[in-house]
Amino acid sequence: MTHFAIAGLQLALPRGDNLDRIAEEVRLVRRRFGWVDMVVLGELSCFGPATANAQPLPGPAEDAFAAMAREHGLWLVNGSLFERDGDTIYNTTSVFAPDGSVAARHRKIYPFYPYEEGVTGGIEPTIFDVPGVGRFGLAICYDIWFPEVVRSLIWRGAEVILNPVMTNTIDRDVELSIVRAAAATNQAYVVSVNVAGDLGYGRSCVAGPGGEMIHEAGEGREVIAVDLDLGYVRRCRERGWHGLGQPLKSLRDGPQHFEAFDRGPAASPTLRALGPLVQPASSLTDKDGADARAMTQKGGKP
């Protein structure tokens, strides 16, 4: 079996408890698209971006998703929710098999610092197998911006990267380019599912192993149902996309050892010189900004 059908649910959700709404949307997908094997939600779809809603895993929300997966006989990726582990909070995706069991949990490796305050990053790339189909990798939102994360998933055998997203900023267009680049350079499918409505700007997308855009959604509610062919991924890796580049083989066969990976990012003088990871200050709070504000208050031009 090489074909596997995924429905990305780009839902226009409010802040707060969305579990009942999500359950109904999953029910509608099963009714309309009986051929779908997996449903993927956007990041933090369950409760929104408030860490006050964090709960332990396993917990009530996971139980609700397990029941959905079991009821409909689907693989289900819950987007993510905030996980409380003692005094620590993670942004965690859970994957449920059709029998309702938890097949994988992924803690977001790169929270969107400095904005995702109070959230601790995970340390381990996460893959899981769909028996008889292939291997899948997880990258939550900002994780996809780090090629090291995606390459680690590919190194572990992933052929499809699932990327739940909550993007409500102007850089969603940039993320579309990153998704295509990640797909092309790693010869894999990338399924990037954003939220819509109050929580996000939509524009979910699916890219193929040549970087081709299979579908880009609009900004509102949309069900993105696609039939992926993992045999196509394997053929691209073996022969190149349309007989062209074979980057994974070139990477494997090359004699290079890259200093950035051997020694680690913290060893780079350039990266160390960038300063602390903090939110940018208003231009009115630095010296030049303060002088400009003073001039404006006096009626002059800065």
Sign of CA dihedral 157, 180, 119, 22: negative
Distance, in Å, from the CA atom of 282 to the CA atom of 252, rounded to the nearest integer, reads 46
Q: Tell me: the pLDDT tens digits for 10-42?
A: 999 999 999 999 999 999 999 999 999 999 999
Q: Tell me: the pLDDT tens digits for 97-142?
A: 999 999 999 999 999 999 999 999 999 999 999 999 999 999 999 9
- Element containing residue 252 per DSSP (H, E): helix 247-253
Distance, in Å, from the CA atom of 118 to the CA atom of 114, rounded to the nearest integer, reads 10
Q: Tell me: the pLDDT tens digits for 68-88?
A: 999 999 999 999 999 999 999
Distance, in Å, from the CA atom of 145 to the CA atom of 143, rounded to the nearest integer, reads 5
Specify the 3-state DSSP secondary structure of 142: helix
Q: What is the pLDDT of residue 55?
A: 96
Distance, in Å, from the CA atom of 90 to the CA atom of 175, rounded to the nearest integer, reads 22
| Phi and psi based region of residue 270 (left: phi greater than 0; alpha: psi -120 to 50; beta: remaining) | alpha
The amino acid sitting at 245 is G
Q: How confident is the model at residue 301 (pLDDT cuts 50, 70, 90)?
A: very low
